[in-house]
Amino acid sequence: MTASAADARLCVITGGASGIGRTAAELLLARGWKVALIDLPGKTLDEATDAFASNTAVRVDACNVTDEAAVEKLLAAVEASHGPIAGVVNSAGIAADIHTLDTPVDLFRKILDVNVIGSFIVARAAARLMAKHQHGAIVNIASISGLRGSKGRVAYGTSKGAVITMTQVLANDLAKYGIRVNAIAPGPVETPMVKALHTDADRKLWRTFVPMRRYAQPEEIASAIAFLVDGTQSGYITGEVIAVDGGFRGAGIILPEGA
Ligand code: NAD
């Protein structure tokens, strides 16, 4: 590691091999941060490992965020190898769009496990480390589906609603340790998750109900993440949820397209 890289702030990003997490990693790196990417083992993680192989400011590890012992061990190792953790982005997540009547309980439990418990496990492990140096910021990636009752989101939306409440509680409990905790609630974002989940009919619906009539690019979420994780930019913001959603949360009935 070069001297300047050694001085840089370190951000842990879960789900960091893909989509919003990966894009946030690239933006933070461009702004001089070090990043530790955590994701499930597999092709996407291998590709990220290869892409960052020559960059000493990056660490890439396979880890399931629902594995409490593995997360605790990994974050301690990340601090030891790359310096104190200044930021955490909880971007690891899974989604489903399935009618309430057809939603299996096992699927509901799995979504809660990854999106809620996994985010808690990572946030708590990081906060225990951050508390020692009285400094840090956690950004949880929630969803607009955690704020509005969109169709098919009984499990996913519930999990993201829980992430928002958890964000507020963590902000409250951790303020005395100098740790800020905020959430971002994205609307639809062009990522591998959405490419797999959204049908053409879904895309039409989103374009109908999002006043800006389009999906976000991951870079538009990453810039909000970079703002919230950086105490020089957002030092008095904690317990907040920022919707990055093209106006979806605030809209009531909207004009038809083209009107
Ligand atoms: P993505 O699928 O591209 O990335 C998510 C990553 O999380 C994947 O690489 C996946 O392997 C990883 N992951 C899943 N389960 C994991 C686990 N147990 N442990 C470790 N890693 C795990 O999706 P994305 O669109 O970039 O989503 C990132 C976050 O943003 C998610 O929490 C998602 O719910 C949220 N979000 C996405 C959208 C959207 O439209 N794309 C909208 C609102 C919220």
What is the per-residue pLDDT across 112-142, written as a single tens digit (0 to 9) for each? 999 999 999 999 999 999 999 999 999 999 9
* CB 96 near ligand 1, within 6 Å: no
pLDDT attached to residue 3: 41
* CB 186 near ligand 1, within 6 Å: yes
Average pLDDT, the chain: 96
> Which residue, judged by its Cα, is nearest atom 16 of ligand 1?
92
pLDDT attached to residue 6: 53
* CB 74 near ligand 1, within 6 Å: no
Tell me the CA–centroid distance for residue 93 and ligand 1, in Å. Answer: 4
Tell me the CA–centroid distance for residue 115 and ligand 1, in Å. Answer: 9
* CB 140 near ligand 1, within 6 Å: no
> Which residue, judged by its Cα, is nearest atom 23 of ligand 1?
193
Share of the chain above pLDDT 90, in %: 95
Question: Which of 15, 6, 69, 8 minimizes the C-alpha distance to 192?
Answer: 15
> Which residue, judged by its Cα, is nearest atom 29 of ligand 1?
91
> Which residue, judged by its Cα, is nearest atom 17 of ligand 1?
64
pLDDT attached to residue 1: 44
Question: Which of 32, 9, 49, 18 minimizes the C-alpha distance to 193?
Answer: 18
Quick: pLDDT tens for 135-177. Answer: 999 999 999 999 999 999 999 999 999 999 999 999 999 999 9
